[in-house]
Structure 1
Amino acid sequence: MNRMILNPVHPVDPVKNSLRAPLPGGRGSSRQWPYYRVRVSAPRPASGGIDRRTLVSTSMVRGAGGVTAIARRGLSLLELLVAVGILSVLAGLILAGVQRARVSAARLGCADHLRQIALAAHGYHGARHRLPTGMARDDGKVPEPYLSWLARLLPHLERDALWEQTEAAFRQERNFLTPAHAARSALVPIFLCPSDGRLSGPAGKDATLHAVAHTSYLGVEGRNAGVADGLLYMDSRHALSDATDGTSSTLLVGERPPNADFSLGWWYAGWGQAQNGDAEFLLGARTRCYNRYRATCDEGPYRFTAGRLDNPCDAFHFWSPHPGGAHFAFADGSVRFLRYAADDILPALATRAGGEAVSAPE
């Protein structure tokens, strides 16, 4: 048999534990009705289960109109679903905000790396009164054949030990693909754009099975390697004063991720398309595709437009993983984000002395 236990609450709180009702025949007077809490309990069923009646907590209030029972219950299934839905929406908004923050931070990091490279090029220029050569051809006389312009900046990027290792390797063996050139696989974070997740780990082997490290930044050789009217190309030896179009209107370095199979984009040394560094660590505003790469790609010329990491033909034009455009360092050391809509003026910006009256869009 169920038992009802009636417990009066003392002392009586005139606000929380009582009801006020006017006395018959009196104005403004009132009386307090005692407040009772009732607990209904029942013996455990013989089957050992739980009686649903024991799960309900009931409060009873005795007032002027009698005794009122108030049942307290948990959330319904619909209410739980609504709560879960609201939490899911909030979680989605938070995750989207975190992702946007990560993308923005990676883009800023990419621009900062490019700025440091431009400053290192100015440091090299200050020490030698000219910019580094884009790449020196192997004429049997140069001490470091096929070495990239990026490698020559190492002392100005506080990587003196790596530069000394590079010099020692070339004194021992002129072929940069031999084991003596261990620096070829050294990962230099400043040469990489954080937005390209493929480059975050250690150097791997490319399609030719050589262990190499890569770069996201290529020197601007002008319109293409054939005319070589920029500041960095094979055997180039230019001072900043040669940029008669104006250093603030002449491109020096631009973004382009390594190609899909990592055969292009080596920072240390390389041949490129025709042993001239083209599409390796040098690139033009209207580069053409030739030699063995014509088997899979059109001749071009290629334009400044969006690309894909899995498309091997996007190795022949400037682009970046950032939406809408790519970062470029100018000869004055500034770094600006150019949108793909600037493609028409990119060849003029790439030349050092073309006489074009153009300026980079802000």
Structure 2
Amino acid sequence: MPTPIERCDRRNAFTLIELLVVIAIIAVLIALLLPAVQSAREAARRAQCTNNLKQLGLSMHNYLDGNNCFPMGGFFGTSARYGFTRTYSFYLGILPFLEQGSMANSYNYSWTTFDTENTTTSGYGVSAMWCPSDADISRTRPGWGFLPDPYNFAYTSYGGCLGYFPSYPREYSYPKGSPEWTAIMAQTNGMIFFNSAVSLAQVTDGTSNTMVLGERTHEYLSPGDKDGYYWWISGQISDTLSSTFWPLNPQRRLKNIGGPAGFVAIWMAYVTGYSSSHPGGANFAFADGSVHFVKDSIDQWKIDETTGLPLGITQPGVTFQLPQGIKLGVYQALSSRNLGEVISADSW
């Protein structure tokens, strides 16, 4: 009699519960590992940003060796075609020291940055000017589209340091040599500003305590503003010049976008204040060629919570006035070159 075939009800497979447990374990492991991976990637981006600022700082010192001063922040020149009064930034002067001499030579100095004769230069992007954490900074955009001819602009994540006042004369309002012009220029205390030519001898606060360049993240701007600000070729305050007048990372700290009539518009905080996509602070290049990460927690002058503006500072005319006995923050002191502030090495 044949032996009956034995049946086996056991299956070599996972049950649904076991499968769900395995999936849950994998999900937990991913949740634990993902922040570490993201942190490592951000650390690499921050290191690249530091390297960019070191390259730019070194280029400025090479420029200094050849010209006995740091590059000029900008100046006005009228476009024969459009009538705008805006010219090139300090970046054009340091292009040869970034191995971009051919691009510097492509600029037509008989025209301004708004003339179509310079579209090749204005639309050329330089990777050393882009923080890798600044999303979308490498895109070329058509400006605000207000020019009758097609015109593309490339952008930069780094702005030259005006000091702690956003002082910038407008030649069409205050002619060169006028009392207003003279007053505005006298209040500039940074390294890179309108019509600047700062030598090392003028940095009396010490090169290791004086900022030259810092980050302003393009990512925080509104979609429309991304087209119109941070053009690397333009010497305008809202493009390649910045100030510590506003707190570091103002987009995270300012609650109010209003302000008293006649005062510098607070929306300028978002385009002229220093900011960063790095968590916790921003990178800055100093006049001695070093680069430091400045934390959001650095000591800064107090902000009026009702206006979002520095407490007690007024602007009765074209210049700013500090109240009697104001405490200057370490952040502001680091941005000035010659006002004699004493800054401890452990204060920032």
**Deviation of the 1:103 alpha carbon:** 1.2
Corresponding residue SS for 1:329 = strand
Residue pairs, 1:126-275, within 5 angstroms = 126-138=65-77, 146-166=87-107, 169-171=108-110, 174-181=111-118, 182-200=120-138, 202-208=139-145, 210-224=151-165, 225=167, 226=184, 227-258=187-218, 259-260=221-222, 261-262=225-226, 263-270=228-235
**Deviation of the 1:251 alpha carbon:** 0.9
Partner Cα distance (2:4, 2:144) in 1 = 84
- What one-letter code is carried by the residue in structure 1 that aligns with 2:297? A
Asked whether the equivalents of residues 287 and 317 of structure 1 are also in contact (C-alpha less than 8 Å), the reply is yes
Partner Cα distance (1:315, 1:125) in 2 = 28
Correspondence for 1:356: 341
Correspondence for 1:278: 237
CA shift digits 1:206-237 (9 cap, x unpaired): 32354111111111011221421111101111
Distance 1:2 1:319, change over 3 A: farther
- What one-letter code is carried by the residue in structure 2 that aligns with 1:347? Q
Gaps of 5+ in 1: 6-39, 41-52, 57-70, 271-276, 289-295, 304-310
Correspondence for 1:75: 14
**Deviation of the 1:130 alpha carbon:** 1.1
Correspondence for 2:291: 335
Asked whether the equivalents of residues 302 and 316 of structure 1 are also in contact (C-alpha less than 8 Å), the reply is no
Distance 1:105 1:298, change over 3 A: farther
Asked whether the equivalents of residues 246 and 269 of structure 2 are also in contact (C-alpha less than 8 Å), the reply is no
Instruction: State the Cα RMSD in Å.
Output: 2.8
Correspondence for 1:24: none
Corresponding residue SS for 1:232 = coil
Asked whether the equivalents of residues 115 and 334 of structure 1 are also in contact (C-alpha less than 8 Å), the reply is yes
Corresponding residue SS for 2:340 = coil
Asked whether the equivalents of residues 202 and 337 of structure 2 are also in contact (C-alpha less than 8 Å), the reply is yes
**Deviation of the 1:76 alpha carbon:** 2.4
Identical aligned residues as a percent: 31
Partner Cα distance (2:196, 2:70) in 1 = 8
**Deviation of the 1:116 alpha carbon:** 0.7
Gaps of 5+ in 2: 80-84, 168-183, 248-256, 301-328
Partner Cα distance (1:339, 1:73) in 2 = 57
Corresponding residue SS for 1:96 = helix
The higher relative CO (CA closer than 8 Å, separation ≥ 6) is in 2
Corresponding residue SS for 1:353 = coil
**Deviation of the 1:111 alpha carbon:** 1.1
Partner Cα distance (1:298, 1:165) in 2 = 43
Corresponding residue SS for 1:336 = strand
**Deviation of the 1:91 alpha carbon:** 2.6
CA shift digits 1:238-291 (9 cap, x unpaired): 112210111011111111123431212111124xxxxxx223211121169xxx
CA shift digits 1:288-330 (9 cap, x unpaired): 9xxxxxxx76477799xxxxxxx88521311111111111111
Correspondence for 1:96: 35
Distance 1:313 1:352, change over 3 A: closer
**Deviation of the 1:198 alpha carbon:** 1.4
Does residue 122 of structure 1 match 2:65?
A: no
What TM-score do you get using the length of structure 1 for normalisation?
A: 0.69
Distance 1:302 1:346, change over 3 A: farther
Partner Cα distance (1:101, 1:301) in 2 = 40
Partner Cα distance (1:339, 1:318) in 2 = 12
Partner Cα distance (2:106, 2:87) in 1 = 16
Higher strand share: 1
Corresponding residue SS for 1:104 = helix
What TM-score do you get using the length of structure 2 for normalisation?
A: 0.71
Partner Cα distance (1:278, 1:228) in 2 = 13
